[in-house]
A = this chain, B = another copy of it.
């Protein structure tokens, strides 16, 4: 199962971009490309940390659950994102594909060693981890202190930042359209709400003409300023 970093679609965005051609060949030998079907798990909460990976294609959710099934999504991963827990022996959360996906997998021990031998790669990894930490801390403010309307508005804005479809957005205007890569239950699990509350908030925003919903997966932001106001103070 030979794959080729040279041709990798994420080679310029993933942490591998820290490597020169020789090093790419070396890391190439440690990796294998794996396809994962939507709904399939790549890593399970509580398992030993045996693999790490780069997301090449698709999308993943990172979740943690309580004994009775309550679930919280604690992260989302897109192409070029890094998955797994290097330099640690336990995975503290489950990683599941949201769509049919491809990842570039390494054994954790191989990867750890390779990283220690390549400081530039380790630096990239550190930078990513720091960015992720900032993002996660922002979610803590949301989960701990924001109201339902504030949560939904913040969520839509963050999604539009990450997913804004260039072909549909009007440059200089506030019109933006994007497709959520998941259904209402997952949105609820990201926001720490129930599916019903998410649904009600969405229809409320639609009624107020802040957003339009061509269908359940697609969102069009009609009034980004308003959405920002709601996200930061809930002044509906």
Q: Write the nearest CB–CB distance from A223 to chain B, whole angstroms.
A: 19
Q: Does A199 contact B (CB under 8 A)?
A: no
Q: Known contacts A72-B144, A145-B72: does B64 contact A138 (CB below 8 Å)?
A: yes
Residues of chain A touching chain B, judged by Cβ–Cβ distance below 8 Å, are: 62, 64-68, 70-72, 74-75, 85-88, 92-93, 116, 119, 122-123, 125-127, 129-134, 136-141, 143-146, 189, 191-192, 232-233
Question: Which of B65, B68, B136 makes the CB contact (< 8 A) with A140?
Answer: B136
**Residues of B with C-beta under 8 A to A139:** 140
In the complex, residue of chain B having the shortest beta-carbon distance to the beta carbon of A193:
B144
Copies of this chain, complex-wide, total: 2
**Residues of B with C-beta under 8 A to A66:** 141, 145-146, 232-233
Q: Known contacts A126-B129, A232-B67: does B116 contact A72 (CB below 8 Å)?
A: no
26 A/B residue pairs, CB under 8 Å, sorted by A: A64-B137, A64-B138, A64-B140, A64-B141, A66-B141, A66-B232, A67-B232, A67-B233, A71-B145, A85-B134, A87-B126, A87-B127, A87-B130, A88-B131, A92-B138, A116-B119, A119-B122, A125-B126, A126-B126, A126-B129, A133-B136, A136-B140, A139-B140, A140-B140, A140-B143, A144-B191
In the complex, residue of chain B having the shortest beta-carbon distance to the beta carbon of A189:
B144
